Amino acid sequence: MTGRRVPPNIAWTSDDGPQGVRVFVASLPTGPIAVLDGTAALVWQELAAAPDGPVVERVAGATGQPVDLIRADVEAFLEDLTARGMLLAHDRD
Amino acid sequence: MELVVVSLEEWNEVWRRNQHLIVGLLQRDPGLRVLFVEPSTDPLHAARTGVSPRPGRGLRRGPHLAGVAPDALWLYEPTKLLPRRVDPDQDVRWAKAVARAARRSRLSEPLLWVNDPRGVEVLEHTGWPSLYDITDDWLAADRDQATHDRLVRQEARLMGQVREVVVCSPALQRTKSTVRPVTLLRNAVDVEAVRAPAARPADLPPGRVAVYVGTLHGDRLDVDLCVATARALSGSASLVLVGPNALTTSQDAQLEAAGITRLGARDRRAVPGYLQHADVLLVPHLVDDFTDSLDPIKLYEYRAAGRPVVSTPVSGFREAADDRVRVVPHEDFASVVLEVAGDNQPTAPAREVPTWADRVTEMARVLGRVSQRPAPGTPTAPEGPGTVPLDVRVQLGHAAVQWLADTHGVDLLHIKGHGLHPSLVHPGRHPSDVDVLVRPDHLGTFLKACRGAGFRSTGRFATSSAFEHSATLVHEEFGYLDVHRLYPGIGLAPEQAFERLWAGRGHTTIAGQECPVPEVAAQVAILVLHAGRNINGGQATRDVHHTWHAADAESREAVRMVVDDLDAGVAFAAGTGELDSLPSSPERDLWRAVTRPTHRVEEWRARIAAAPGLLARARLIARMTLVNTDHLASQLGHRPSRREVAIAFVDRIQRAVHELTSRGDRR
């Protein structure tokens, strides 16, 4: 089973401004800085808080959506972040 | 949001309404970009009136401001080549030049903020959504007929075309609202800066002083009344005028003959010292329709300072008269000043005075209406989804720097900024860059690593300051990075000082990266040392109040121990405002000089005196008249050409000569 975590060459922080919570992610040491807002910010924060945890279930719990309804979208998003080097995939027992 | 501001005054160290409002808006809205258009220089007129002529400085990057993103502020100073009667089309060409400057500053759809009525030419050339901010009723000022007629025409066009009109005084509200609805947005003061205790400025004459703070302008200042007041005070107190001098030669000669001290423009951060140490503050203004249109900023500054005030019955002060503000007729002015100056009145407690933060909120609302969008800085402020706040850039910058250090085996400490312990951060503190102190042996490796990661140099060690302590780098994503090879004021050799701080280090996590930081007591010591290099009144002063003056005895003792370890006593005293309590020494004189940036000759003299050894002194003397090309590049927004360096070289010599002669230097 595949787990994901934030690799050591990624820095990230968040702010809670007029647009709601946003997450800013930078590849070190050069950037660029990517901005995640809305559900994307929520997914990132859930994953960063509990790497290898059940991200889809946690996002479903936070948004009140059925797990089955959001699973494909959340996993596609995580896959995209991994392809961009913002997350690291590894085998999980 | 983007703004083009056509200002009646240049951007310099004397902050007025425009600077306070614009910097406040920039700090609130990280996405805001501003082009500030200054009045054109007029070399021909300057030469005719005996002033040294100079061309306009063109388009250049604004100064580095706390809490403001790099490249958010650009300044543009054009040149007026010929008189208007010879070259009647110059206003149209000027408007086109402003539009070009806006494009070069990468502003595509700006709002236009007109303060100088000439801005109507820009409005009509570009069609930008506009507001007119009226700060003086120039139609009531004493001008030749042609100028008066032109101002009347320009104002009439503005009143008919702008989306909003803002005025600064109730008198202007009365007169201008007969033409169309206006919004009253009065002046204010930075109360905290004015009230923060400041040392008595060294250039205040000894004994009692009656002080006027403001621009010396014949439209406002009653020169005859100043002369009469100086005569009345003779032998009891000195009359001191602090501010830019825009008087005619004959008016200035009158003041000179009466023995009145004119100190010239002073950095805004130095002004509280003059206010606080005045025995009486004066408003010797003319009383006429023009001065009635003003809302003098000094009204707010004087009230915040809490010193006794004597004023002629001008607008603002007339309504504010109370036991601390004596409003007296022209004929009684001098005698009342003499009486109050001898009263030894204590400083009154702080009063409720409107602050610039209030006014920034009001102006943000006006701009919101002009743009027909929510205003910057209001709770509903729009921020593009891709906009990265400055605070976030700085955090990620710390992380990038630490990554470079870890991967290249470099020891460094994150000082200030987000490296500070939370207990040392006061409300409103805005980190605007990353500061690191690097182990001296690792400096070359670190700078090379930074260049490889996209940081480019904007300032070198040799040109950074009187102490040659830091190099400034900038990164497109992460903004500014100050690399310190030593910390000014620390007497220990740089390697030993770093080792002392490194041995006591702790860690803090910034954007997920574990960053080494000095122990908390050493962080306080560094903040206070930093304040010693800064004029009173800014963020550095607030840092000292928060971390030192408000600290308990145990914390102070820990800081004292660090200061002793680092051999930093003199600089620390400069930061806490206790420099005058130390015995005279070259080091003390250097620290006194660097806090008075308008006196560069004095700073150089102190640098030379404090330099260790003949060779170091000789190098400094050789560099005295060289141009700081890094600083010039920052001002111009590009590396200077040989011609631009040559112009700056001549200007630098002329400035030094002027300082020597204007101060009657005989040393």
Q: How far is CA B502 from the centre of its chain?
A: 35
For an interface test with B, give the residue of A12, A15, A30, A35 to mutate (most B CBs within 10 A). Answer: A30
For an interface test with A, give the residue of B392, B404, B412, B455 to mutate (most A CBs within 10 A). Answer: B392
Q: How far apart are CA B388 and CA A11, in angstroms?
A: 14
Long-range contacts of the stretch B628-635 (C-beta < 8 A, 24+): B628/B463, B629/B463, B630/B457, B630/B458, B630/B459, B630/B460, B630/B463, B630/B472, B631/B459, B631/B463, B633/B458, B634/B61, B634/B64, B634/B458, B634/B459, B635/B57, B635/B60, B635/B61
Closest residue to B511, CB basis, from A12, A17, A37: A12
Task: Yes or no: say if B540 and B576 are a contact pair by the CB < 8 Å rule.
Answer: no
Structure tokens belonging to residue B397: 């910058």
Would you call B478 and A12 a contact, using CB atoms and an 8 Å cutoff? Answer: no
**Secondary structure (DSSP) of B174-233:** HHHTTTS--EE----B-HHHHHS--PPPTTSPSS-EEEEES-B-TTTB-HHHHHHHHHHH
The whole-angstrom distance between B104's CA and the closest CA on chain A is: 24
Task: Yes or no: say if B248 and B202 are a contact pair by the CB < 8 Å rule.
Answer: no
Judging contacts by C-beta atoms under 8 Å, the chain B residues touching residue A28 are: 399-400, 403, 513
C-alpha distances in Å from residue B361, one per residue of B137, B364, B382, B384 = 24, 5, 15, 20
Instruction: State which residue of chain A sits closest to B408, comparing Cα positions.
Output: A29
Q: How far apart are CA B651 and CA B657, in angstroms?
A: 10
Complex-level ipTM? 0.94
Mapping DSSP to helix (H, G, I), strand (E, B) and coil, where does residue B83 land?
coil
Closest residue to B453, CB basis, from A24, A30, A35: A30
Would you call A35 and B386 a contact, using CB atoms and an 8 Å cutoff? Answer: yes
Would you call B400 and A31 a contact, using CB atoms and an 8 Å cutoff? Answer: yes
Task: Yes or no: say if B242 and B215 are a contact pair by the CB < 8 Å rule.
Answer: no
Instruction: State which residue of chain A sits closest to B379, comparing Cα positions.
Output: A18
pLDDT along chain B (667 residues), means of 10: 93 87 91 94 78 84 84 91 78 92 90 94 90 80 76 86 88 81 88 84 93 90 95 94 90 94 88 93 88 79 90 84 84 94 78 84 90 46 56 94 95 94 85 92 93 79 60 86 88 93 96 96 93 68 87 94 93 84 78 59 58 60 57 56 62 50 39
**Nearest alpha-carbon partner for B61 in B50, B47, B73:** B73
Instruction: State which residue of chain B sits closest to A21, comparing Cα positions.
Output: B385
Would you call A18 and B379 a contact, using CB atoms and an 8 Å cutoff? Answer: yes
The whole-angstrom distance between B520's CA and the closest CA on chain A is: 24
Torsion angle of C-alpha atoms B191, B196, B201, B207, degrees rounded to 10: 90
Would you call B404 and A30 a contact, using CB atoms and an 8 Å cutoff? Answer: no
Would you call A15 and B512 a contact, using CB atoms and an 8 Å cutoff? Answer: no
pLDDT at B518: 97
The whole-angstrom distance between B362's CA and the closest CA on chain A is: 18
The whole-angstrom distance between A27's CA and the closest CA on chain B is: 8
For an interface test with A, give the residue of B378, B383, B388 to mutate (most A CBs within 10 A). Answer: B388
Numbered residues of chain A with Cβ closer than 8 Å to any chain B Cβ: 6, 9-13, 15, 17-19, 24, 26, 28-33, 35, 37
Closest residue to B513, CB basis, from A11, A24, A37: A11
Residue in the structure block whose two tokens are 């300082």: B659
C-alpha distances in Å from residue B52, one per residue of B43, B83, B138, B654 = 8, 17, 26, 9
Instruction: State which residue of chain B sits closest to A31, comparing Cα positions.
Output: B477
Can you say whether the dihedral through the CA atoms of B93, B98, B101, B107 is positive or negative?
A: negative
pLDDT at B628: 61
Q: How far apart are CA B133 and CA B115, in angstroms?
A: 5
The answer to whether residue A78 scores a pLDDT higher than 60 is yes
Judging contacts by C-beta atoms under 8 Å, the chain B residues touching residue A11 are: 395-396, 399-400, 403, 511-513
Closest residue to A11, CB basis, from B383, B388, B511: B511
Strands (E), B43-124: 58-61, 73-77, 111-114
Closest residue to A18, CB basis, from B383, B386, B513: B383
Phi-psi region for residue B310, left (φ > 0), alpha (ψ -120 to 50) or beta? beta
Closest residue to B400, CB basis, from A6, A11, A19: A11
The whole-angstrom distance between A30's CA and the closest CA on chain B is: 5
Task: Yes or no: say if B567 and B229 are a contact pair by the CB < 8 Å rule.
Answer: no
For an interface test with A, give the residue of B396, B513, B514 to mutate (most A CBs within 10 A). Answer: B396
The whole-angstrom distance between A46's CA and the closest CA on chain B is: 15
Would you call A18 and B381 a contact, using CB atoms and an 8 Å cutoff? Answer: yes
The whole-angstrom distance between B406's CA and the closest CA on chain A is: 11
**Nearest alpha-carbon partner for B121 in B143, B96, B147, B139:** B96
Q: How far apart are CA B229 and CA B259, in angstroms?
A: 11
Would you call A31 and B399 a contact, using CB atoms and an 8 Å cutoff? Answer: no
pLDDT at B139: 64
**Strand partners of residue B165:** B132
Task: Yes or no: say if B233 and B212 are a contact pair by the CB < 8 Å rule.
Answer: no
What angle separates helix B600-610 from helix B586-594, to the nearest 10 degrees? 150
What angle separates helix A38-49 from helix A67-83, to the nearest 10 degrees? 80
Task: Yes or no: say if B568 and B489 are a contact pair by the CB < 8 Å rule.
Answer: yes
The whole-angstrom distance between B457's CA and the closest CA on chain A is: 15
The whole-angstrom distance between A26's CA and the closest CA on chain B is: 7
The whole-angstrom distance between B373's CA and the closest CA on chain A is: 14
Judging contacts by C-beta atoms under 8 Å, the chain B residues touching residue A30 are: 400, 453-454, 477
Would you call A33 and B399 a contact, using CB atoms and an 8 Å cutoff? Answer: no
Would you call A31 and B379 a contact, using CB atoms and an 8 Å cutoff? Answer: no
pLDDT at B404: 94
Q: How far apart are CA B230 and CA B233, in angstroms?
A: 5
Closest residue to B396, CB basis, from A9, A17, A26: A26
**Nearest alpha-carbon partner for B272 in B375, B158, B196, B166:** B196
Instruction: State which residue of chain A sits closest to B376, comparing Cα positions.
Output: A18
Structure tokens belonging to residue B254: 């009158």
Numbered residues of chain B with Cβ closer than 8 Å to any chain A Cβ: 379-383, 385-389, 391-393, 395-396, 399-401, 403-404, 407, 449, 453-454, 475-478, 511-513
- Exposed/middle/buried for residue B365 (C-beta within 10 Å: 0-12, 13-18, 19+): middle
* pTM for this model (two decimals): 0.53
For an interface test with B, give the residue of A10, A13, A19 to mutate (most B CBs within 10 A). Answer: A13
Length of chain B as a residue count: 667
- The H or E element that residue B365 is part of is helix B356-371
The Cβ of residue A84 has, within 10 Å, a number of other Cβ atoms equal to 11
pLDDT at B651: 56
Judging contacts by C-beta atoms under 8 Å, the chain B residues touching residue A5 are: none
C-alpha distances in Å from residue B235, one per residue of B261, B309, B337, B338, B548 = 14, 21, 14, 11, 41
Task: Yes or no: say if B360 and B21 are a contact pair by the CB < 8 Å rule.
Answer: yes
**Strand partners of residue B79:** B41
Instruction: State which residue of chain A sits closest to B386, comparing Cα positions.
Output: A35
Mapping DSSP to helix (H, G, I), strand (E, B) and coil, where does residue B477 land?
coil
Q: How far apart are CA B483 and CA B501, in angstroms?
A: 16
